[in-house]
């Protein structure tokens, strides 16, 4: 399923405005999109659309020795 570019941009901006941090973890964006009425599958679709449009970058962060989580960030918020 594809979402409109402007719709995805608006949701992405709202997500980062909500958490006010450069990095957002998977559980956080799932909660945010769930509060907007989206299912977990729809949340993933929106995140992948945001990635496809270049609004975010996706990666994996190590949170403990054996635990990894998906993490997203805006390319302009992080210095390479």
> Could you tell me if residue 14 is inside a domain?
yes
- What is the value of pTM for the model shown? 0.87
Question: What's the distance, CA 75 to chain centroid?
Answer: 12
Please give the residue range of the domain that contains residue 34. 5-74
CATH number, residue 60: 1.10.10
pLDDT at position 1 over 90: no
pLDDT at position 7 over 90: yes
Q: What is the pLDDT of residues 34-80, one digit of tens each?
A: 999 999 999 999 999 999 999 999 999 988 888 999 999 998 865 54
Residue 64 has φ and ψ, to the nearest 5°, of -160, 180
Tally of domains in the chain: 1
- Torsion angle defined by CA atoms of residues 12, 14, 19 and 21, in that order, rounded to the nearest 10 degrees: 50
Q: Supply the pLDDT for residue 19.
A: 96
Cβ-based neighbour number of residue 9 at 10 Å: 15
């Amino acid at each position: 399923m594809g979402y409109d570019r402007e719709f995805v941009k608006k949701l992405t901006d709202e997500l980062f405005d909500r958490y006010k941090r450069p990095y957002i973890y998977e559980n956080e964006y799932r909660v945010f999109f769930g509060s907007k009425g989206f299912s977990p599958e729809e949340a993933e679709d929106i995140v992948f659309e945001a990635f496809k449009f270049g609004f975010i970058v996706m990666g994996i962060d190590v949170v403990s020795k054996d635990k990894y989580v998906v993490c997203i960030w805006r390319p302009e918020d992080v210095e390479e």
